[in-house]
Structure formats: C-alpha cells, structure tokens
Structure 1
Amino acid sequence: MRRPTTATRPASPTPPSPTTSRRTAAGTVAAATALLAGALTPTAAAADQPLPSRDDAIGHAQSAIASLAGRLGITDAQATTVRDVVVDADGSQHVRYDRTYHQLPVLGGDFVVHLAPDGGYRSADRAVLGDLAVPSVKPSLTAPKAADVAAAALRAANIGETLRKIVATPQLVVDALHGEPTLAWRTEATGQDSLGNPVARVVLTDARTGRQIDAWDSIETATGDGQSLYSGTVPLQTTQSGSSYQLKDATRGNTYTGDAQNKTDTCLLVICLERAPAALFTDADNHWGNGAASDRASAAVDAQYGTDTTWDYYKNVHGRSGIAGDGKGSYNRVHYGTDYNNAFWDDTCFCMTYGDGDGTTFGPLVSLDVAGHEMTHGVTSKTAGLTYSREPGGLNEATSDIFGTLVEFYAANASDPGDWLIGEKIVKPGFGKSALRYMDQPSKDGKSADCWNSSVGKLDVHYSSGVANHFAYLLAEGSGPKTIGGVQHNGTTCNGATVSGIGKDKLGRIWYRALTVYMTSSTDYAGARAATLNAAKDLYGAGSAEYAAVGAAWSAVSVG
C-alpha cells in the first residue's frame, strides 16, 4: 500500500492509497479568524455585554505578551504573528501565534494565549518550552547543497520511479521541534512521476552539518441539481451567467469546481510555474452530470456537493465560516492527472484536487468523506498547524478522518449513509479491501495502529493516525459490535475494558475545541489526551460523564 499522499510513488508493489494527502506552504504562517459560536455550555456573556471582537482579543493578548514575555519565552530577538483567534460564548479568548527568530520562521515556535472574558491572562500553551535561540543564523551548509540533499531525498522516497522536473527551494528556519533549537534548511522538493503526476517532499536539514533531521510527504483536496457518482441526485447552489450557469456557489464564499483537463501542476515551493487548469464547469439547464463517469460533470457534482456539505458542517456545528474562518471559499479541481489514484488539499492554491483513479483499484476520488477529509487539512493548517510528521502528523491525518466521517454523518444522505469507514465508496475490487481505513479497528487495513506504543511515531502518518481514529470511534460509539450505516462495526479496546460512547456530536465538539484552542504544531498523543480533556472540561465540566469518557477512551487505546 503506497504511502497515501500525492507526493510519492509506491514504496512497495501493493496498490497506492489515496484521499489522505496535503500540501502546505512553508511554515503555514497565516492570520485567520475563527469564532466558536454555540459550541460551549458555560454561561454566555450577558446580553448587555457584547462579546470581545477579534481585534479586542488580539489587543488583550498583546498586552499579556508584553507583561509576561519572560514567562512565555519571548525575547527581543523574536517577533510574533497572529494565526487564529477563538472567542468563546462566555467571552473567553484564545489567540494563536507563530514566532520568528531574527526574522527566521521557528518550527515549534507557535503558542496560544488564553484570556478571561475581561481580557485578563489565564494561561498559555506552547508547542516548545525553553529558549528558541541558536548560536548563529549564518548557515555553514549552502542553500544549493540543501537543495541537492532534498532532491536526493525525494528520489530516495520514490525508489523505482523515474522523476523529472525536480525543483528544490530551501528556506532557512529555526527548528525547535526536534530537540535543541537548530538552524536548519526547510526545503520542499517537487517533481513529476512518469505519468506527469506531482511528487513532493519536505526535507529538514541541519544548516551546520548537513544532517537530515526529518522528512515528510507534503502533498497532505441559482439552485440547481446534479447527478453525482456516489451520493445520488443532490441540490447545488450555482451562479447564472447570461443564458448558462456556473458551478460556483455565492452562498458559500464563491466556492467553485473546475476541470483540470487531466493536467498536473509544476510548482516551485509556494510558486507554481505551471498549474493545472480549473476550467469552471458551466451548464445550459442547471441540471449537472448524469451519475456516471461518461459525463465529466458527474465528478464535479460530487466535489461541489462535498465542499458544500463540509462548509455547512463547520458553519452550523462549530460556527466556522469557511476553512480559514473568514467566509472565503476555496475551489475544486477534478479530473487531475492520468489514472491519478489520489486527492489532496493544497494550501498554496487553497484548493482541493481530485484524481479519477485508475479504474482498477480506485474510481474517481470525489466521495463525501474524502471531501470532508481534504478540507479539514485546510482547517488544521489554519488552526493547530499540526506538523505533518511523527505523532503530530498522525494526529493531523486522524483529524481529517474524524471530521471527514462526521461530515458524512451530517449529510444524512441515503445513497452514502454515515459509517466509520474511510473511502469505502471509491475502492474497487482490485484494492483488496472494502475501505482505505477502519476507525473501529484500524489494524484491519493491515498497517494502521490500534494502540499507542513508543514506536507509533515511526509509522507513516496515515497509519499512526489509527490510534486517534480508534479513540474517536470508541468515544462516540463505545466498544462492542454494532451495525452503523448498514456496516458491521466492532469497537475493540487495547486494555480489555468496556467503553461507553457519548455520541458523534460530542466527539466533534470536543475534538474541534481541542484542535482550535489547545493543540499546537508539536502536539503528540499525550498532548492530544490533555487537549481533549481540557476541551471536555470547558464544554461539560471536570466532573462530567463526558470528561470521564474522554479519559476512558484514551486509556482504551493505551494513551495515558
């Protein structure tokens, strides 16, 4: 089974696994706004006391940073940039920051300042404790040498494949995620495989010694109706343009779907020299597709429907308007590449991209849970920014699986009823399994981990995610056999305990709050346990059944 990112070709002869990849811009440093509306049970602010605005929260946080710089490890050599803001229903504020050191991005420099409703400082969560200083910001290893190292690493990760158009562009950073802060080159190497599909890998190299510190795949995806491939006939909000209609939704941030025309991207880090098109789909009568691959619009219907449903889930359940929380839409590209067995989210274009599959192992990769998965990579990049490597990378992937699944349940679509399988609609008999992943028993895919152990972080992130997926299933559904969405599930536990579930809605609220308020780029499984317990305490109280259930579910997967 190929590591399921658009960045690699098979490392073994078994079929590639799609739907789980992402591409991020260097550092993913951006300011975003997220308002958590209606997700908390504590007493809301009084009607005559308006909630603090985003600017209010930032001002309060800046005041706290100025007075507590020493406690937060912030020195004159550092600068901070706001990435995200969350304001609770009771007025509590949480402001997330990225840091630079002598103008260099700091991997692991992110932190969250927690404030009371009156703006007073409460606490902070930091990705890395301690000093972020390095002896020098002048590298011994040159940028061209770092580029060569990254290009070699890309080739090594694609053994047996002839790569072309390889481009590697280094960025000098301070790496605080892998022990003592180190001056490093963060290099994204990109290229194309023999079919013209993109491959990409981020390589972190010690800028003094040339030692590779870490590496990971970086490709981490008017009212009409449409006949989809997987979800039946679905409603679509479209835009009338003259006598025709565009597959663009003005009610959801102008999100649209275009045809990539089986072309691919050629990118240089965050700049794409050649980008596959996204030729906007148009239609004469506002009835799109025919429910079969013979009409190219059918896959576009699935993609647009998936985007619409995911947008609605985040907005109606979590109060988040769009991926970045700013009300702006993304876009989809379907029919990408040739026989392309994957889908991916790309921060650099703020878009989802879907391949058609090879027809033997996978069909078009536009199912509902895939759309929810890929869009959630965007949400994660705008909030916790979980590093796509080791245990944080597993949690990043699990976050997309969890919310992709919850989007599927939210849709309540009779043609694709909710279940805890990932990608079950897109797999073909040639894949050899009924789904990509199984959240009730992750090890059923042959590679994912059911239970945490000290080696989990060494697994590919798509398999280390199994621990969190297992936790999420047990927290929502509990242990033991049951039929869900017409599929037989069996929630096993690693400690032999019987676990009672608290339901999907509470799982989603707890994980979303943990992601947006407490998790940071370095959060590992122990940190995820702490983050979700804090979230449960905020939402339901420290003595609540929900709080106890979170602890029990983590224990059931050997975390804690």
Structure 2
Amino acid sequence: MSRIRQHIRGTRRLATAGVAVTTATLLATALSPAAHADNRPTRATAMENAASALVAHATSLGLTSAEDTKVRDVIVDKDGTQHIRYDRTYRHLPVLGGDFVVHLKPNGSFRSADRATRKRVSLPSVTPKVSAPKAAGLAVHALRAANFGEKLKHVKAKPELVVDALHGAPKLAWRTNAVGLDSLGNPVARTVLTDARTGAQIDAWDSIETATGDGQSLYSGTVPLETTQSGSSYQLKDPTRGNTYTGDAENKTDLCFFGICFFRAPATLFTDADNHWGTGSNADRSSAAVDAQYGTDETWDYYKNVQNRNGIANDGKGSYNRVHYGNNYNNAFWDDSCFCMTYGDGDGTTFGPLVALDVAGHEMTHGVTSKTAALTYSGESGGLNEATSDILGTMVEWYANSPSDPGDYLIGEQIVRPGFGKTALRYMDQPSKDGNSADYWSSSVGNLDVHYSSGVANHFAYLLAEGSGPKTINGVSYNSPTYDGSKVTGIGRDKVGKIWYRALTVYMTSSTNYAGARTATLNAAKDLYGTGTEYNAVAAAWNAVNVH
C-alpha cells in the first residue's frame, strides 16, 4: 500500500532526546484559529500541542536525534481530548512498528501514549549486507511458492530498506513487494520482509487484502441511488458523498508495479438514460454496479452518521468502484494506491459477483484501517486487521437494514455458491464452523492465515454484542460457546461498533496483538461508557475467547 500523504505534514526531527525540535510550518497563525466554534482545539492546534509533548517526553517515547516523526492522523474528542498518531523513521528509513499515538488532555498537556513497540531503535549501520537484487529474488521465490508454483507472468519485485522493530530486536531489513499475474491474468502480490544482514525471511504476507435514482441490485433488491445528471443522461456518481462513483473494468486487470502502472484496468463510468439502473440480473452489467454503489453509500453513511468519520480518509473525499474486474475473478479488494474498491465477478461455481453489502463494508474498512492504526497484515495484528473489516463491515450491513439482505453475523453469505461447500465465508458466533478459523486465542493463533486468526476477535465481537448460547436473530440460528464455559451477556451491536472503532482509531497501533486489543477496547469502553456494565462486558467477552 502507498504511504499515507497529508495536506498538512507534521514532520519533527529531534535534535536531542528531549531538547530542541526543528519543526515544519503547520499553518500560518492568521489562518489557524485556536479552537473550533465549540471551543475544541483545531487539528493544527492539536499538532502543535503534540509537537511540544514530543520534546518533553522524547525519552519515554524512545525518540532520539536519529529519528524523524510524521503525523498520520488526528482525532479531537468532543471534550477537547486530543489523539495524534505518528509514523517514525530512523536515519530516513521507515520503522516498521515505530508508530505511536500521543494522547493529550483538553488543555493540550500530555496524558499518555500508545506505542507499537517499546524497543529502542539503535543500529550500528544502515548499510545492508544483502543486496537489493538478492532481496528481490528471494521475494519472487516466496511469491511463486505462495501460489503453489503456478507459472506467473510479468513478475516484478521492488525492495525498500526499512528498520524492522516488529519482530524482536530492531534490525535492518528489506521490505519487498513482489507482484505478478496468474494464469488467468488476475493479480497476485506478496510482501516479504528479509533480514538485510543474513537474507533470512522474517515474515511474509499477501499484499491484496481479501475477503475473499434507484437501481435493481443483485443482492439488496431495489435501492435508492444519488446520481449526477449530465445532459440528457445520468452518471452513477454521487455528489452527496464525496463524488463516489462506479465504473466498468471491462474484464481487464491492472499491470502495476510499485505505484507505477503500465496499464490500469479502466473504471468507465456507468451512465443511464432514465436514472433507473440495472435489472437485478447478471445479464445487465449495471446490476453489479448498483450493488457496488449501494455498498459505498451505506459504508459512507455508517461511518459518517455512527462514527462521525467523513469518508474513508476522514477528509470528505469519495472513493470509486470498479466492477467486472478480471476473468472469473474470485476476489474483491481495496487498493490504497487508487483509493478504490475492485470487484470480481466470481467463477459462478464457488462465488457469484463479489459486490455484496458486507463485502463492500469489509473491503472499504481496510481503507479506514490503513488511514488509522495500519495494523500489519501478518501474525496477530493481521488477524485483527481482517477482524476489523469483518466486524465493522457487519455493522454496515446491520446499519443498512435492507429487507433483501438483513443484518446477520455471517460474512459473505450472499456471494457463496453450492460449490463452495459452506453457507458463508466466515461465522462470527462460532468461527471454527468454517473448518479453519480459531474460536479462541492460543499461542499459535498468529501462525494462522490472517483470515482464520481473525476468528478470535470476530467471536469476541459477537459475544459482546449478542451474548453466549443459542438464539435466533433475523431468522438465523446462532449458538456461541465460550472457552471457559462462562455465560456472557451482550451489550448490543451499536455499542460494539463504537467501542471497536474508537479502539482502532485512538489506541491500536501497527503491532497491536490480541492482548493489546483487549487493552485498547477496554480503554475505548472506559472513554465511551465509564467503568460499569460495558467495561465489564468487554473484559468478560475477551475472557470467553481466552484473551487475558
């Protein structure tokens, strides 16, 4: 994924541990009022306050004169409490696990901080012993192995030198993105982390995060759509939601390497003569577009109306969708580099078109995660990344309240076909029903594929929302067990969504594991509801999935 860019950059270089700071200009004072109309600090004020906190608390934050920081995200609570999230570099190299969040009181004074890692970064050299071409070759080999030796086309790899502080003592490493096309012409990608001294593989993960008017959709019936009139026709473009739009990829795929696209599958904007879109069948290419646009609308509205987030990047700008991507492509994915959602049509045997509402909510939530905690897509943090998309994507489905696709705790139930052999991709009440996912935490959970290690957090979220034991909700039967045989009483899905979102955006970092997620959600529950019923329920639900 591309590095996060901001219109206002808060770059800080610490001259000494806790002494002088050279700071880039944020905003001219005349252009930056001290507070919002409701007397809350502005974003710029919060960043200025945080800059002072970095100087005063550099030692406790592990910052040295060899390190720079850059603001990634700013959240100001209604009471004026400020949360400023930073990325870190060491001798100009990105530090994986170097991110941290500074929490400030309403008056701007330091309250606390959350760090992805507490390890101090100090390397004898930033000159690698393993060459960049060697790292690229190792990553290509890993990509081929991950695709079972399938012959791949147009394979490329681009190494980037980084400091790895996520896996033990900080070390110099190559982070290499390897990409290619499979035999059907669909994209495959893998990020490989290699020790720059020894050539040993430290970690590897898939780089494509998967889930695997009015319009007649494939899955949600007839839905309302906000469109744009252009002359005598209409465009499937929503001016009320940041100009989000949906286009036809024309069954083509991208040929992009490391942000440089030799060919990008199109997103030819759908148009219509009468502003009544689709027929509800695959025969009309705009039917899938209706689902995609509807999914974008509902996801936008959920985050804005429930979480007070103005778009995926919280900047009011809309994303766009591409449907009919690739050849029988069994996938859907969010891509930061185009700030867009992409949907395959499925092979018709295991999956239908992947434009279902909870898939849309899931994939676009990957965009939200990348703009906030940026949970690393491997190990326990990778499971939490996937679970975040499952949990908040499920909240989008409940929020939409579609009579044709009512809310449930099943992931992807609309897209699966009989050839898949199961009724859904994942089951939040008892994740192991899919045959692979973990119901409870164990020391080996981090070794699972991230779509399966996510089961622990999915199970936690279900238990926290609905409680344990058998029940039927919206016509779906659930029976959620607990690790210790305890009985858990739910607090309702709305509170769960708010607790998880605040934990993600305020307390989690790139390296958060399950123990850290427990702490983050307890902190979030305390912020939102105090230390009573909700706080205790969060603790009980984590206990019930063996996270202590």
**TM-score for the superposition, normalised by structure 2:** 0.94
**Is 1:358 aligned with 2:339?**
no
**Is 1:279 aligned with 2:268?**
yes
Partner SS for 2:306? helix
Moved more, 273-282 or 312-321: 273-282
- 1:490 aligns to what? 479
Conservation of the 8 A alpha-carbon contact between 1:32 and 1:85: no
Shift of 1:86: 0.7
- 1:265 aligns to what? 254
Conservation of the 8 A alpha-carbon contact between 2:362 and 2:390: yes
Amino acid at match of 2:77: D
Distance 1:259 1:397 in 2: 27
Shift of 1:491: 1.5
**Is 1:166 aligned with 2:117?**
no
- 1:42 aligns to what? none
Distance 2:259 2:488 in 1: 45
- 1:67 aligns to what? 56
Conservation of the 8 A alpha-carbon contact between 1:480 and 1:491: yes
Partner SS for 2:316? coil
Seen in structure 2, the aligned counterparts of structure 1 residues 47 and 320 have a Cα distance that, compared at 3 Å, is: closer
Amino acid at match of 1:80: T
Partner SS for 1:122? strand
**Is 1:334 aligned with 2:323?**
yes
Distance 1:527 1:73 in 2: 19
Partner SS for 1:69? coil
- 1:208 aligns to what? 197
Conservation of the 8 A alpha-carbon contact between 2:217 and 2:223: yes
Q: 1:123-170 deviations in whole A, cap 9, x for unaligned?
A: 100101131122111111111111111101100101141111001011
- 1:555 aligns to what? 543
Distance 1:32 1:533 in 2: 33
Distance 1:541 1:165 in 2: 55
Q: 1:19-66 deviations in whole A, cap 9, x for unaligned?
A: xxxxx22xx444489xxxxxxxxxxxx998611111011010001001
Query: What pairs with 1:38-437 in structure 2 (closer than 5 Å)?
Result: 50-220=39-209, 224-437=213-426
Distance 2:300 2:166 in 1: 32
Give the count of matched residue pairs. Answer: 520
- 1:462 aligns to what? 451
Partner SS for 2:391? helix
Distance 2:169 2:534 in 1: 38
Shift of 1:208: 1.2
**TM-score for the superposition, normalised by structure 1:** 0.92
Distance 2:251 2:474 in 1: 34
Seen in structure 2, the aligned counterparts of structure 1 residues 424 and 208 have a Cα distance that, compared at 3 Å, is: same
Q: 1:475-510 deviations in whole A, cap 9, x for unaligned?
A: 000011111221111111111000000000100110
Partner SS for 1:251? coil
Moved more, 134-143 or 523-532: 134-143
Partner SS for 2:225? strand
Partner SS for 1:208? coil
Moved more, 71-80 or 439-448: 71-80
Conservation of the 8 A alpha-carbon contact between 1:191 and 1:200: yes
Distance 2:88 2:37 in 1: 36
Moved more, 550-559 or 235-244: 235-244
Conservation of the 8 A alpha-carbon contact between 1:30 and 1:82: no
Amino acid at match of 2:122: A
Amino acid at match of 1:322: G
Conservation of the 8 A alpha-carbon contact between 2:247 and 2:267: yes
Name segments (4+ residues, structure 1) moved above 4 Å: 46-49
Distance 1:390 1:247 in 2: 39
Seen in structure 2, the aligned counterparts of structure 1 residues 289 and 341 have a Cα distance that, compared at 3 Å, is: same
Conservation of the 8 A alpha-carbon contact between 1:94 and 1:113: yes
Shift of 1:522: 0.3
Partner SS for 2:399? helix
Shift of 1:326: 0.4
The CA RMSD measured in Å over matched residues stands at 1.3
Amino acid at match of 2:315: D
- 2:32 aligns to what? none
Distance 1:32 1:413 in 2: 37
Partner SS for 2:247? strand
Distance 1:139 1:167 in 2: 21
Distance 1:82 1:559 in 2: 31
**Is 1:449 aligned with 2:434?**
no
Amino acid at match of 2:306: V
- 2:464 aligns to what? 475
Amino acid at match of 2:458: N
Conservation of the 8 A alpha-carbon contact between 1:260 and 1:276: yes
Amino acid at match of 1:556: A
Distance 1:348 1:488 in 2: 40
Conservation of the 8 A alpha-carbon contact between 1:32 and 1:325: no
Query: What pairs with 1:475-554 in structure 2 (closer than 5 Å)?
Result: 475-542=464-531, 544-554=532-542
Report % sequence identity. 74
Conservation of the 8 A alpha-carbon contact between 1:105 and 1:173: yes
Unpaired segments of 5 or more residues in structure 1?
A: 1-23, 34-45
Amino acid at match of 1:151: V
- 1:16 aligns to what? none
Distance 1:484 1:271 in 2: 47
Conservation of the 8 A alpha-carbon contact between 2:119 and 2:170: no
Distance 2:36 2:185 in 1: 58
Conservation of the 8 A alpha-carbon contact between 2:241 and 2:300: yes
Distance 2:483 2:426 in 1: 18
Distance 1:256 1:458 in 2: 38
Partner SS for 1:190? strand
Amino acid at match of 1:69: A
